[in-house]
């Protein structure tokens, strides 16, 4: 008996809301976030009209302006996006209580048993998208399959305003044909490593013994072994609170000096800060993860007096923690930054035993 999992992802979320609420923006290339003078700031998202010019999320606004001089920059209205996110959740909850939001515009739904007895996950996804269109005047895309991994990939296959079903009988052939860089959770470095091992698709992964994958990729090797066979047992976890946000990067070449590490740390801090802002979170505890060339790993934390989402503050704290960790004669292969102890989540003791005891779970 297979589960029925739906992944819903809104189309050009912030930009679509702005176009909905202001007729002057409709049909035009618009960008939410960034500064119009191209003086810094990055694009949060671009309307599909702007994407035709090559504008993408996380692109510097300067670059966006170069690609499309007539692009309109819009200041984000997070309160509105949050309200819409709540309205989306209300629509989902007509069909199931097993809802796991991933961000304001994205969620997994387990509709194995749906509240209305519709039974067909395809019909439920269609009904949800219709409700979003008629009630909220926005469009969403959906992926429907037997687990989270496949549903998430599927929701991207027919964007915008579309849906894709990967049924049980198609799972095996779909996974075999899937390029490793399309795997949800496989970053650039892992993809490059896979390719260097001759692993280009799910079919290549499937030919490897589990022990060999674990030897190359550590614990994640177990996951690759299973997912190559279309198996992903992770449950849809309702009400999973965001306890921490993290980003990390593995380097092609081990780093040895703080001068080499600082720009990398800056990039990682930028990613974390963006995600804090996107999720409207501020955190008080900053944790740095360091993995050495010999795979040993340490974490170092510091709690600030006030919660922050400020790039400079987070970066400086991370640099301080890194320098205090003792870098002499060390080769570093991975750096990560996690922010936790969010404002309003109640766990504001600086020496939270939860954190000091279980820092690894942050990443
Ligand atoms: N976002 C952001 N910074 C990023 C990526 C996204 O601030 N680097 C924000 C703006 C997006 C929203 O999160 O509207 C949702 O992100 P998605 O990745 O789902 O992108 P969109 O919904 O904008 O577009 P798509 O139609 O590709 O899903
Ligand atoms: Mg989206």
Give the CATH number, domain containing residue 177.
1.10.150.20
Q: Residue 328 sits in which domain range?
A: 244-342
Tally of CA atoms within 13 A in the half-sphere of 274 that contains its CB: 18
Give the Å distance between the CA of 101 and the centre of ligand 1.
14
Nearest protein Cα to ligand 1, atom 21 = 12
Instruction: Examine the domain organization and report whether 217 and 326 are in the same domain.
Output: no
Please state the atom number of ligand 1 nearest to the C-alpha of residue 14: 14
For residue 358, name the pLDDT band (cuts at 50, 70, 90). very low
Q: Which ligand is nearest to the CA of 278?
A: 1
Burial zone of 265 (CB within 10 Å; 0-12 exposed, 13-18 middle, 19+ buried): buried
Pocket test for ligand 1, best of 10, 12, 44, 45 (most atoms within 8 A of CB): 45
Q: Is the CB of 167 under 6 A from ligand 1?
A: no
pLDDT tier at 240 (50, 70, 90 boundaries)? low
Average pLDDT over residues 171-199: 91
pLDDT score recorded for residue 41: 83
Q: How many Cβ atoms sit within 10 Å of the Cβ of residue 99? A: 21
β-bridge pairing 5-10 and 106-110: antiparallel
Give residue-wise pLDDT tens across range 152-182: 999 999 999 999 999 999 999 999 999 999 8
Whether 160 is in the pocket of ligand 1, judged by its Cβ within 6 Å, is: yes
Which residue, judged by its Cα, is nearest atom 2 of ligand 1? Answer: 44
* Average pLDDT estimate for 314-340: 93
Write the pLDDT tens digit of every residue in 70-89.
999 999 998 999 999 999 99
CATH number at residue 310: 3.30.1490.100
Residue 236 lies in a domain: no
Mean pLDDT of the chain: 90
Same domain, 46 and 132: yes
State the average pLDDT over residues 186-211.
93
Could you tell me if residue 353 is inside a domain? no
CA atoms within 13 A on the CB side of 358: 8
CA 285 to centroid of ligand 2, rounded, Å: 29
For residue 356, is it within any domain?
A: no
- Domain co-membership, 216 together with 272: no
CATH code at 5? 3.30.70.270
Residues 151 and 124 in one domain: yes
Does residue 155 contact residue 9 with C-beta atoms inside 8 Å?
yes
* Residue with the larger pLDDT of the pair 189 and 142: 142
Say if residue 8 is in the same domain as residue 142: yes
Is there an atom of ligand 1 within 6 Å of 7 CB? no
Are both 220 and 88 inside the same structural domain?
no
Same domain, 255 and 108: no
Select from 149, 166, 183 the last residue of a domain. 166
- Asked if 1 and 77 sit in the same domain, the reply is yes
In a domain, 287, yes or no: yes
Q: E strands within the chain?
A: 5-10, 30-32, 45-46, 72-74, 99-103, 106-110, 140-145, 163-165, 244-255, 283-292, 297-308, 332-342
pLDDT at position 144, please? 98
Out of 9-18, 47-56, 335-344, pick the least confident: 335-344
Residues, beta carbon < 5 Å, ion ligand 2: 9-10, 13, 105
Does residue 351 lie in a domain region?
no
pLDDT tens-digit series, residues 273-305: 988 888 888 999 999 999 998 888 899 999 999
Res. 362: pLDDT tops 80: no
Residue 1 is predicted with a pLDDT of: 85
The pLDDT assigned to 38 comes to 66
User: How many independent structural domains does the chain possess?
Assistant: 3
User: What is the spatial distance between Cα 247 and Cα 91, in angstroms, rounded to a whole number?
Assistant: 31
The atom number, within ligand 1, closest to the CA of 105 reads 15
**Has residue 352 got a pLDDT over 80?**
no
Please tell me the predicted confidence (pLDDT) of residue 277. Answer: 86
Q: How far apart are the first and last CA of the chain?
A: 33
Cα(159) to ligand 1 centroid in Å equals 13
- Pocket flag, ligand 1, residue 14 (CB < 6 Å): yes
Last residue of a domain, one of 227, 252, 272: 227
Residue 189: which pLDDT band, with cuts at 50, 70 and 90? confident
Cα 13 to ligand 1 centre (Å): 6
pLDDT for residue 345: 55
Give the closest residue (by CA) to ligand 1 atom 3: 44
Residue whose CB lies within 8 A of the most ligand 1 atoms, among 34, 46, 48, 57, for a mutation test: 57
144 falls within a domain: yes
Which residues participate in catalysis according to the annotation?
106
| Domain match, 133 and 276 both | no
Mean pLDDT value of segment 352-362: 30
250, part of any domain: yes
User: Do 196 and 336 belong together in one domain?
Assistant: no
- The first and second tokens of residue 78, run together, are 């997070």
234 part of a folded domain = no
Kindly give the distance from the C-alpha atom of residue 181 to the centroid of ligand 1, in angstroms, as a whole number: 19
Strand partners, 249: 335
CA distance 301 to 338: 9
Q: Are residues 183 and 248 in the same domain?
A: no
Residues 161 and 176 in one domain: no
**pLDDT score for 359:** 28
Q: How confident is the model over 228-232, as a mean pLDDT?
A: 96
Is 80 exceeded by the pLDDT of residue 37?
Answer: no
């Amino acid at each position: 008996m297979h589960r029925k999992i739906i992944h819903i992802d809104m189309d050009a979320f912030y930009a679509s809301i702005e176009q909905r609420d202001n007729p002057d923006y409709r049909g035009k290339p618009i960008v939410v976030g960034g500064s119009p003078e191209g003086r810094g700031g990055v694009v949060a998202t671009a309307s599909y009209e702007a994407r035709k010019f090559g504008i993408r999320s996380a692109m510097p606004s300067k670059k966006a302006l170069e690609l499309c001089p007539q692009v309109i920059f819009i200041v984000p209205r997070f309160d509105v996006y949050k309200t819409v996110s709540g309205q989306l959740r209300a629509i989902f909850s007509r069909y199931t209580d097993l809802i796991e939001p991933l961000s304001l515009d994205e969620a997994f739904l387990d509709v194995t048993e749906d509240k209305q007895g519709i039974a067909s996950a395809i019909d439920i996804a269609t009904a949800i998208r219709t409700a979003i269109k008629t009630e909220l005047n926005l469009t969403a895309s959906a992926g429907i399959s037997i687990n989270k991994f496949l549903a998430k990939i599927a929701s991207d296959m027919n964007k915008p305003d579309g849906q894709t079903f990967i049924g049980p009988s198609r799972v095996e052939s779909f996974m075999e044909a899937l390029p490793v860089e399309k795997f949800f959770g496989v970053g650039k470095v892992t993809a490059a490593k896979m390719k260097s091992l001759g692993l280009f698709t799910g079919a290549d992964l499937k030919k490897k013994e589990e022990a060999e994958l674990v030897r190359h990729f550590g614990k994640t090797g177990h996951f690759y072994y299973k997912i190559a066979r279309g198996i992903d047992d992770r449950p849809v976890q309702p009400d999973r609170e965001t306890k921490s946000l993290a980003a990390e990067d593995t380097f092609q070449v081990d780093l040895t000096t703080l001068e080499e590490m600082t720009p990398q740390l800056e990039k990682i801090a930028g990613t974390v800060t963006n995600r804090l802002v996107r999720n409207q979170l501020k955190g008080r505890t900053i944790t740095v993860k360091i993995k050495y060339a010999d795979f040993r790993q340490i974490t170092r934390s510091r709690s600030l007096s006030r919660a922050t989402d400020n790039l400079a503050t987070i970066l400086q704290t991370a640099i301080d923690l890194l320098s205090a960790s003792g870098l002499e004669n060390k080769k570093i292969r991975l750096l990560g930054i996690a922010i936790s102890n969010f404002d309003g989540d109640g766990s504001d003791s600086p020496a939270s035993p939860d954190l000091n005891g279980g820092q690894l779970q942050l990443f």
